[in-house]
Amino acid sequence: MFHWLEKNPFLFTVMVFATIAFAGIITILPDFAKSSQPVVGTKPYTILQLAGRHVYIKDSCNACHSQLIRPFKSETDRYGKYSLSGEYAYDRPFLWGSKRTGPDLMRIGNYRTTDWHENHMFEPTSVVPGSIMPAYKHHFTNLADIDTAYAEAVTVRNIFKTPYDQEGMPQLGSLADSQATALEDAKIITAGMKNQAVKDAVANGQIPEIVALIAYLNSLK
């Protein structure tokens, strides 16, 4: 019946494309028609966590690690519950990633500790023998950019209505208030660390990148 279509490669290609495009639109249109609602318990990142997320992006951690657990038993057995769209409601940009040179980090906060991250970032092979991940010792001396993290939080609050300052959500206040809160959060992180230079820096009012990065990684649950 459709021999005439098979004899016309150009028309055949157009028809195949149109069919696939139509099917794709029908599949994804319902999700575009509704806004993604945050999963219960999902909160915007604190200023310290946001600063750590900036470190994560700056050093292209998402080039080797994904943050997207697919609904396959092989993945949920290894990484935990599969990802839900509402868990990314406050992520800008998304860090789903497309390659897993290293493991998925979507729920790493559930099974790795602060001291593990400290050792892993300073010398990966000390906790993962045979690891090909490079050491990130500069994170222990470079300082986190708290001011930029605060500026982003204010921006998404004002433009995207991210619910900062609402009951049960991270509070921003002034830049000075947020810097003080970030420093208090940093002291909680360093309580679980052994590097004395990092501890001393936080005690002196400075926040190394490693502290912010660990705060971010610990929030991934």
State how far the Cα of 112 lies from the Cα of 218, in Å rounded to an integer. 8
Better pLDDT: 35 or 102: 102
Task: Retrieve residue 144's tokens.
Answer: 């986190």
Q: 173's torsion region: left (phi>0), alpha (psi -120 to 50) or beta?
A: left
pLDDT at 39: 83
pLDDT at 35: 54
pLDDT per residue as tens digits for the range 138-182: 999 999 999 999 999 999 999 999 999 999 999 999 999 999 999
Better pLDDT: 10 or 134: 134
pLDDT at 127: 95
pLDDT at 32: 59
Q: How many residues does the structure list for the chain?
A: 221
Q: Hey, which residues does 208 pair with through a beta bridge?
A: 143
pLDDT per residue as tens digits for the range 21-60: 888 888 776 665 555 678 888 999 999 999 999 999 999 9
pLDDT at 27: 75
pLDDT at 154: 97
Angle at 185 between CA 215 and CA 114, to 5 degrees: 40
* pTM across the whole model: 0.85
Contact 220, 109 (CB under 8 A): yes
Strands (E), the chain: none
Q: What percent of the chain has pLDDT over 90?
A: 80
Q: Of 31-35, 36-40, 70-74, 97-101, which range is least confident? A: 31-35
Instruction: Work out whether the CA dihedral 148, 154, 159, 164 comes out positive or negative.
Output: positive
State how far the Cα of 190 lies from the Cα of 186, in Å rounded to an integer. 6
State how far the Cα of 180 lies from the Cα of 140, in Å rounded to an integer. 20
Q: How many other C-beta atoms can be found within 10 angstroms of the C-beta atom of residue 86? A: 15
Model confidence at 3: pLDDT above 80: no
Spell out a b/e string for 126-154, using b for 16 or more CB atoms within 10 Å of the CB, else e: ebeeeeebeebeebbeeebbbeebbebbe
CA distances in angstroms from 43 to 38, 40, 55, 196, listed in the order given: 8, 9, 20, 31
pLDDT at 31: 63
Question: pLDDT confidence of 5, banded at 50, 70, 90?
Answer: low
Contact 193, 115 (CB under 8 A): yes
Mean predicted confidence (pLDDT) in 191-205: 97
Mean predicted confidence (pLDDT) in 48-76: 96
